[in-house]
A and B are shown apart, each in its own frame.
Chain A
Amino acid sequence: MFLFYFWSFSDSDPFRIYAEFEMSLSNYRRARSILFQGAQSSSESSDGSLYNEKLSHLYHTWAVCEWQLGNLDRSEVLFDHSLRLTDAGTRGSDTRSFIFLSIARFLFHARKDFALAQHCVSLALTENTRSKASWMLWSKIANIMGNKTLSFACIQEADKISAKTRVENRDTLESVNNKNMNHMLRQAPWHYKIVDVNEKSWYDAINFPDDDLNFTEETRDSTQLLQETVAIHKK
């Protein structure tokens, strides 16, 4: 049994989830150790080196953890590692969009490199145009860079997405895409009555350093930001 037990293979998800839990309690050093072990364990396995979405998520969380600890250079390297592990095709599009958004947030808040942050946020939007958080961030960057018109346009886009999401929540066919098609078809007819089909994204559980700066869409209402920008624009 020993011989064959040796050749089992690893999964990095439990390490990431465990680390995110520690990060939520502000135990960043402990989280880093867990992420380090997870990365080591997954990289050593036969699945660790090719496109590996789970390992990509783990590197992303580790990058945010290093950002929290103030190791900005290492954080940048880890974001890069995370990007490299995403699938090059449309399959990796969602993950890449989130990673670019995180890099943009990092460059904007930690490095204060607004031009590069703008570049990254536009890359995030290339991967997924329906990310409200990306439009909001771009608006903020444009605002700081003095481009009020662009800022205003970005907020309008964010608002459109909010409106669309509200409509989609009323069970219209627009909400059907390839990703949730699997949850809709070949299911028992009572599935919808008892199972919550809205899965939380892996990105939502991460504790970002700029969450305190009222960045996220939950804490910052786009309408409020729109009013502020319009006021500035008028001045």
Chain B
Amino acid sequence: MHHDNESFDSFLSSSFDAFSAASALASAISSPTTTSSSSSRSASSSAKNQSNDEQTLLRNEIDNISVDTIEPLINRRKALLRSKQFSFSKNKKGILGFDIIDSDDEEENDEDDYDDADYFPLSTPEGRDDYLTGLTKTFHESKSVHQNEYDVGSDSVEVRDLDVYTMNNYQLRELYLKAKYADQKGDSQLSKALLNKLLQVTPNDTRVMRRLARLEIQGKNYHRGREILQNGLRVLPNDVNLLHGLGQLERKCGNLNKAREYFKEAIQACPTVPNPYHALGTLEHSEGNIRASTTVLRTGLKLCPSNHRLHHALGDLYRDAKMLDMAEKAYLRGLKCLDVDSASKGIQMDWSRSFFYTAMSYLSYDRDDKETSRRWLKKSIALDHNKMHAQGWLGLAQLEESEGHIDTARKIYQQGLDVYEKQRGIKKFKASSRSMLGRGDRVKPPKLGDRWLDVYESLIRLEEKHGDYDSANNVYSQAATAFPRNWNILSSWARFQIRNDNHTRARTLFELACRRAGNRYVLLGLLCDLHIIHFACCKIY
């Protein structure tokens, strides 16, 4: 552990050569796009063309119906034209010739689950014979790919051996879906590997770029994420999804002005896409710029009146401004849009519905109607397709805690965590178990957008305040098992041990946290980490 003075000094003298080189590099990396100046102006001028909200809503509904009816016919016509070696699609093409659809929306907190069915429309530059040969081959060979759709274990070695250049469109589509499922199931390494492979053959595919960039950002590799998105922007300078992705990245990095610029550019590039309005509106709201936020969200709603997320964001804004009636109206309008959306798509959108119910419970609490608030929260966690709404469980428990019902709150937390842990395959254990932390790598990884860490943290806070050492220690160990890669929990746990004068335990936990946070040890790989964890647990207990 000890180092001599020479090694410190040599490190200090050498490290800042790297800093200067990196600074030069940073100046070289600049946005390929120009800064927008009049995005909101153009958006508002377009808004004037709309007669009123209701008419637009109605028109959108009609559009949805007609698209649903006509789409199969269009697909049939496409297939016929394809057989004549002719593609009439006006969309941009990737290098393999399939269309690039610009409707991706894959934020980390995304509430919508978009259908990927139209991801690779079957337009191809190949001849009819080639196409038929490829198709025949696909139906013979793709079975195994399809069968393993949900079996996205750690087969990264196989990924390395994949020859994506010989794949046809269908196989590439399957590969993308595999990457998507891996991402949703929390296997970000496999998803990244597959997406990197896909990016080699489809370098202009914005979906691949967005998802890969988001995974890189999730792994705190911001430079790589930025590189992917900016490379994409060089080819597709006005792509709304890439601009939106860059905005999200800059927001995460704390560069709020840059984030604003990117969101505005995205709005300017395509004023009818709701996501940049939502992102910019919530950014301004978080920063306390209420007026700017209202303007953005209202403009967004004029152009996309059926978007439930914009209604929800506007409702939140009104609620924070204590304009409770207007907030209620906004939430109810959002719920109505959600019903229409749900009916037109034929899918239950319980994920989004839970958020509305939680918002309604906040509203009732603000009106001092705690019973109704409680009812809304219970409703949010009782939906058929979303019993895992972390915010709902958290809200219900915190509501009880705020009312001084500590035992009830504790019970709700544990109930929620039982459901969650059962789903993740985390078995019950006592904190004194030696192999406690080792189990973390055997449980299913958290899914995309998992917010259950907040529930654990809130329970830890409750136990530290109202419980004893053992109860808090147990929750810390539960959280560390559920989120084995998170060093923050270990660091907090160590500080908890310091507060309780357990310095040896604190040291062990700090060392674990450092190993997980630093890349110095990662060369040793997973196996080594497991051994260290096991050794550490033996030391703790």
Contacts and interface: CB of A to CB of B under 8 A. Distances in A.
A25 B503 contact: yes
Nearest to A192: B402
Contacts, number: 166
Contacts of B193: 4
Contact of B518 (A42, A47, A50, A176): A42
A216 interface: no
Interface in A168-197: 176, 178, 181-182, 184-186, 188-191, 193-195
Contacts of A29: 2
B214 to A, nearest CB: 15
B9 A49 contact: no
A184 B400 CA distance: 21
Contact of B254 (A42, A43, A91, A191): A91
Contact of A18 (B7, B399, B461, B494): B494
Interface in B485-509: 487, 490-491, 494-495, 498, 503, 506-507
Contact of A188 (B160, B220, B395): B395
Contacts of A15: 514, 517-518
Contacts of B491: 13-14, 17
A12 B219 CA distance: 15
A71 B3 CA distance: 15
A11 to B, nearest CB: 4
Interface in B160-199: 160, 189, 192-193
Interface of A: 1-15, 17-18, 21, 25, 29-30, 32-34, 36-50, 71, 74, 77-78, 81, 84-85, 91, 176, 178, 181-182, 184-186, 188-191, 193-195
A9 B221 contact: yes
B365 interface: yes
Nearest to A49: B22
Contact of A17 (B7, B19, B398, B510): B510
Q: How large is the interface on B (under 10, 10 to 19, 20 to 34, 35 or more residues)?
A: 35 or more
B518 A38 contact: yes
Would you call the interface of chain B mostly helix, strand, loop, or mixed?
A: helix
B16 A50 contact: no
A178 B520 contact: no
Contacts of A5: 189, 522, 525-526
B519 interface: yes
B70 interface: no
Interface stretch (B33-41, B265-273, B280-288): B280-288
Given A2-B526, A74-B9, A14 B286 contact: no
B506 A37 contact: no
Nearest to A77: B12
B536 interface: no
CB-based closest 6 A-B pairs: A49-B22, A41-B518, A190-B402, A18-B510, A14-B513, A193-B402
A85 B522 CA distance: 25
Interface string B1-43: 1110101110110011011011100100000000000000000
